[in-house]
């Protein structure tokens, strides 16, 4: 599977139509394009009727092969707007091997000014579109787009979803034989349920026969324009195998759409937002007076991508999470709440230089670029000891601003000064208690209290570690304001927010005390010297009295495999009993349902990169709760699943 992104190579012909150099075919006909989409995809799948029939709080899931310019998506969204109930939702999942670059996307969609209400929001969020799953949120969450960037034959097998309607697009089978394969048809069937419908422009005989073999009843119907006939189909095959029970979806929680979220840091506020956008009434319980007072309370955090050239689960999570966070940030005020000033990771020793070399070969230049020292200095605006990897779309964020923005939803109620001590389940409701005081109750609870989730019995066994970290606030000077990008070595320093730079951060695996220490300020200043002696001089570090430095300390909360812990929770004891056989034979998949603690979810373990992983994890929690397509590959969601530890323990006998 490639991590290297290739954009669409487009030539614009004399009629203004985009023509694919990769496939030697046009994306759409300028005049008939929209009519063709309406006939082939919307008409054949009776989409208007399906939208009109959606009950409040239900969603329709459309799957598409070939996002291209997004025309099918925009037209479907417009139809949804016209026909669906205000509380219904649309989830559009589309695969694209060669996404359009931003400039081509602008040029393509501006061909349809009548669709501007749909195309402009996409353009605003069309940033950080990199390989893998890329989630977008539109219309205050009524519409979700999950773009799977990569070859359809690599991407669809990773999708965990049930598709209601397929738009089988992609260039013509004769121009694109690699896509129209039995593997593709098998995936369409795997992701369908009886009643799933399909529309496609092609009537090629072997495509029709292959779809029939895969379980679709197909028929030819009259076409439009130059196409005499097109095809529609309905899935009449078997339901797919749901997979291992410990990762299968828990049943939907009965009762009102009400949820409690415990903790108002990045994980809690983004989980609350993801649920509220899906129509849930959310009560957030936070022990402090205001949100973001613990790990999420630093003045500046860095969008720092620690990637692997091998496409590990963590690396995939980082790329998807980075994209999602970046798109959320577009709604915040640049300069005050965040800045896309880029992030430079210095090649500070030979090992790091070697690691960076591999990454530069594995990823595209829109994501990261290897720079020589002089190039790096020109971008950073200060003298540097080495070149490094530059992430042009990275930057810094004021995490409390992101938390506040996420919590500003009319369906979210924040209860401050409320420390939850205990959870109890009574009938179908989870109750949050502080001693003898019942604070709130709801059928669904998301535990987002960082390492303190272990206080609650269902999370007591989660292997979470707290690592103290301290940042130093440095007043900017005329000279230091030349710094134009975040620069990282073992530590990091950001361009000023207001008139202060944030310099971070120490790691202490033992201390439980959060009082800032002089020693750690000194340690941070040493990290700054490694980053840039020039910048240290500009900041007048030699004259600073470390005893007078300002800063703050908090705990990171880390899991042993550095992946966050996100998903539904099961009863430990019952889990161990249900799957005890795995201790003897790890290859078995016992047909025993997982003993879920119905309605209980966790979102924690974001370590040193919560800005990148927590917002997408909010979407992941919401997808678990609402039974929606997962915003991450199935294997990545499994790698983040709370059950992974219980499972490993059983298999290794520890």
Ligand X SMILES: Cc1cc2nc3c(=O)[nH]c(=O)nc-3n(C[C@H](O)[C@H](O)[C@H](O)COP(=O)(O)OP(=O)(O)OC[C@H]3O[C@@H](n4cnc5c(N)ncnc54)[C@H](O)[C@@H]3O)c2cc1C
Contacting positions for ligand X (CB under 6 A): 262-268, 285-288, 293-296, 298, 301-302, 304, 399, 419-420, 448-450, 452, 455, 469-471, 504-505, 554, 556-557, 604, 606-612, 614
* Two structure tokens written together for 552: 């703050």
Q: Is 551 strand, coil or helix?
A: strand
Q: Residue 370 in contact with residue 389, Cβ under 8 Å?
A: yes
Decide which of ligand SAM, ligand X, none touches 293; Cβ closer than 5 to 8 Å per partner kind: ligand X
Decide which of ligand SAM, ligand X, none touches 176; Cβ closer than 5 to 8 Å per partner kind: ligand SAM
Torsional sign, CA 179, 184, 185, 188 = negative
Q: Residue 345 in contact with residue 490, Cβ under 8 Å?
A: no
Instruction: Tell me the closest approach of the beta carbon of residue 568 to ligand X, in angstroms.
Output: 18
Q: Residue 287 in contact with residue 102, Cβ under 8 Å?
A: no
92 pairs with which residues across the strands?
Answer: 62, 145
Decide which of ligand SAM, ligand X, none touches 614; Cβ closer than 5 to 8 Å per partner kind: ligand X
| Helical (H) or strand (E) element with 554 | strand 550-558
Decide which of ligand SAM, ligand X, none touches 325; Cβ closer than 5 to 8 Å per partner kind: none
Q: Residue 18 in contact with residue 26, Cβ under 8 Å?
A: yes
Instruction: Tell me the closest approach of the beta carbon of residue 507 to ligand X, in angstroms.
Output: 9
Instruction: Tell me the closest approach of the beta carbon of residue 107 to ligand SAM, in angstroms.
Output: 13
Instruction: Tell me the closest approach of the beta carbon of residue 175 to ligand SAM, in angstroms.
Output: 9
What is the spatial distance between Cα 261 and Cα 99, in angstroms, rounded to a whole number?
36
CA 363 centroid distance within chain? 19
- To 5 degrees, how large is the angle CA 349–CA 353–CA 355? 120
CB nearer ligand X, residue 64 or residue 508: 508
CB nearer ligand SAM, residue 96 or residue 452: 96
CB nearer ligand X, residue 207 or residue 639: 639
Check whether the bond before 385 is cis (ω within 30° of 0).
no
Q: Smallest Cα–Cα separation from 112: which of 168, 74, 163, 59?
A: 74
Q: Smallest Cα–Cα separation from 325: which of 605, 623, 125, 621?
A: 125
The values of phi and psi at residue 189, to 5°, are -65, -45
Instruction: Tell me the closest approach of the beta carbon of residue 144 to ligand SAM, in angstroms.
Output: 17
Decide which of ligand SAM, ligand X, none touches 420; Cβ closer than 5 to 8 Å per partner kind: ligand X
CB nearer ligand SAM, residue 320 or residue 558: 320
In 286-398, which residue ranges form alpha helices assigned H by DSSP? Answer: 313-329, 350-362, 373-380
* Two structure tokens written together for 548: 């007078």
Instruction: Tell me the closest approach of the beta carbon of residue 93 to ligand SAM, in angstroms.
Output: 12
Decide which of ligand SAM, ligand X, none touches 380; Cβ closer than 5 to 8 Å per partner kind: none
Q: Is 647 strand, coil or helix?
A: helix
Decide which of ligand X, ligand SAM, none touches 606; Cβ closer than 5 to 8 Å per partner kind: ligand X
Decide which of ligand X, ligand SAM, none touches 298; Cβ closer than 5 to 8 Å per partner kind: ligand X
Q: Which residue in this structure is represented by tokens 């206080």?
A: 455
Q: Is 653 strand, coil or helix?
A: coil
CB nearer ligand SAM, residue 70 or residue 491: 70
Decide which of ligand X, ligand SAM, none touches 152; Cβ closer than 5 to 8 Å per partner kind: ligand SAM
What is the spatial distance between Cα 243 and Cα 245, in angstroms, rounded to a whole number?
6
Instruction: Tell me the closest approach of the beta carbon of residue 550 to ligand X, in angstroms.
Output: 14
Instruction: Tell me the closest approach of the beta carbon of residue 525 to ligand X, in angstroms.
Output: 15
Instruction: Tell me the closest approach of the beta carbon of residue 62 to ligand SAM, in angstroms.
Output: 11
Decide which of ligand SAM, ligand X, none touches 564; Cβ closer than 5 to 8 Å per partner kind: none
CB nearer ligand SAM, residue 97 or residue 257: 97
Instruction: Tell me the closest approach of the beta carbon of residue 113 to ligand X, in angstroms.
Output: 39
CB nearer ligand X, residue 302 or residue 622: 302
Decide which of ligand SAM, ligand X, none touches 286; Cβ closer than 5 to 8 Å per partner kind: ligand X
Residues ≥6 apart with Cβ < 8 Å to 44: 197, 199, 221, 230, 231, 232
CB nearer ligand X, residue 55 or residue 289: 289
Which strand ranges, in their side-by-side order, compose the sheet holding 343-346?
369-371, 388-391, 343-346, 486-488, 492-493, 500-504, 465-475, 550-558
CB nearer ligand X, residue 109 or residue 305: 305
CB nearer ligand SAM, residue 169 or residue 619: 169
CB nearer ligand SAM, residue 364 or residue 529: 364
Instruction: Tell me the closest approach of the beta carbon of residue 119 to ligand X, in angstroms.
Output: 31
The site for ligand SAM (CB under 6 A) is made up of 8, 27-28, 66-72, 95-98, 151-152, 169-171, 176, 178-179
Decide which of ligand X, ligand SAM, none touches 276; Cβ closer than 5 to 8 Å per partner kind: none
What is the spatial distance between Cα 234 and Cα 232, in angstroms, rounded to a whole number?
7
CB nearer ligand X, residue 527 or residue 557: 557
What is the spatial distance between Cα 72 and Cα 118, in angstroms, rounded to a whole number?
11
Q: Residue 224 in contact with residue 35, Cβ under 8 Å?
A: yes
Instruction: Tell me the closest approach of the beta carbon of residue 169 to ligand SAM, in angstroms.
Output: 4
What is the spatial distance between Cα 355 and Cα 143, in angstroms, rounded to a whole number?
39
């Amino acid at each position: 599977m490639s991590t290297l992104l290739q954009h669409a190579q487009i030539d614009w012909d004399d009629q203004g139509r985009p023509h694919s150099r990769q496939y030697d075919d046009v994306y759409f006909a300028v005049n008939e394009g929209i009519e063709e989409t309406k006939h082939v995809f919307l008409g054949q799948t009776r989409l208007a009727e399906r939208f009109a029939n959606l009950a409040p709080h239900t969603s329709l899931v459309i799957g598409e092969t070939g996002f291209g310019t997004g025309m099918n998506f925009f037209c479907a969204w417009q139809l949804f707007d016209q026909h669906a109930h205000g509380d219904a939702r649309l989830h559009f999942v589309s695969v694209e091997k060669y996404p359009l670059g931003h400039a081509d996307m602008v040029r393509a969609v501006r061909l349809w000014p009548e669709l501007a209400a749909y195309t402009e929001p996409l353009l605003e969020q069309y940033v950080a579109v990199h390989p893998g799953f890329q989630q977008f949120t539109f219309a205050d969450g009524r519409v979700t787009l999950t773009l799977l960037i990569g070859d359809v034959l690599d991407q669809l097998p990773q999708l965990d979803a049930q598709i209601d309607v397929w738009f089988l697009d992609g260039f013509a089978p004769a121009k694109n034989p690699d896509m129209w394969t039995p593997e593709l048809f098998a995936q369409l069937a795997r992701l369908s349920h009886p009643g799933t419908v399909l529309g496609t422009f092609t009537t090629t005989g072997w495509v029709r026969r292959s779809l029939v073999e895969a379980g679709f009843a197909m028929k030819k119907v009259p076409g439009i324009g130059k196409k005499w006939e097109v095809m529609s189909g309905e899935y009449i095959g078997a339901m797919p195998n749901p997979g291992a029970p410990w990762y299968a979806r828990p049943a939907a929680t009965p009762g009102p759409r009400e949820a409690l979220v415990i903790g108002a840091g990045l994980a809690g506020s983004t989980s609350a937002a993801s649920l509220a956008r899906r129509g849930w009434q959310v009560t957030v319980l936070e022990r402090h007076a205001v949100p973001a007072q613990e790990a999420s309370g630093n003045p500046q955090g860095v969008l720092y991508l620690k990637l692997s050239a091998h496409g590990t689960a963590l690396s995939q999570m980082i790329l998807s999470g980075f994209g999602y966070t970046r798109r959320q940030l577009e709604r915040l005020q640049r300069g005050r709440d965040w800045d896309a000033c880029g992030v430079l990771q210095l090649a500070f020793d030979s090992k790091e230089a070697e690691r960076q070399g591999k990454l530069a070969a594995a990823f595209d230049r829109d994501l990261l670029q290897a720079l020589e020292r002089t190039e790096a200095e020109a971008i950073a605006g200060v003298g540097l000891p080495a070149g490094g990897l530059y992430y042009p779309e990275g930057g810094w964020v004021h995490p409390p601003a992101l938390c506040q923005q996420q919590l500003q939803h009319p369906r979210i109620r924040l209860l401050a000064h409320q420390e939850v001590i205990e959870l109890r389940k009574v009938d179908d409701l989870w109750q949050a208690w502080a001693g003898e005081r019942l604070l709130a109750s709801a059928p669904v609870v998301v535990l987002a209290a960082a390492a303190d989730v272990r206080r609650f019995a269902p999370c007591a066994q989660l292997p979470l570690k707290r690592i103290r970290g301290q940042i130093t606030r440095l007043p900017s000077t005329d000279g230091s304001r030349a710094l134009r990008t975040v620069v990282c070595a073992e530590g990091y320093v950001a361009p000023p927010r207001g008139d202060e730079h944030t310099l971070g951060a120490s790691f202490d695996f033992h201390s439980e005390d959060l009082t800032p220490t002089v020693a750690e300020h000194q340690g941070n200043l040493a990290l700054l010297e490694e980053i840039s002696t020039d910048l240290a001089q500009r900041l007048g570090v030699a004259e600073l009295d470390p005893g007078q430095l300002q800063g703050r300390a908090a705990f990171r909360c880390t899991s042993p495999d550095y992946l966050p812990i996100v998903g539904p929770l099961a009863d430990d004891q019952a889990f161990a009993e249900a799957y005890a056989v795995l201790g003897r034979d790890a290859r078995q998949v016992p047909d025993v349902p997982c003993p879920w603690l119905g309605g209980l979810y966790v979102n924690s373990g974001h370590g040193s990169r919560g800005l990148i992983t927590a917002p997408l994890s909010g979407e992941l929690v919401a997808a678990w709760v609402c039974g929606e397509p997962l915003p991450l590959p199935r294997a990545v969601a499994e790698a983040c699943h709370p059950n992974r530890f219980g499972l490993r323990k059983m298999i290794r006998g520890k």
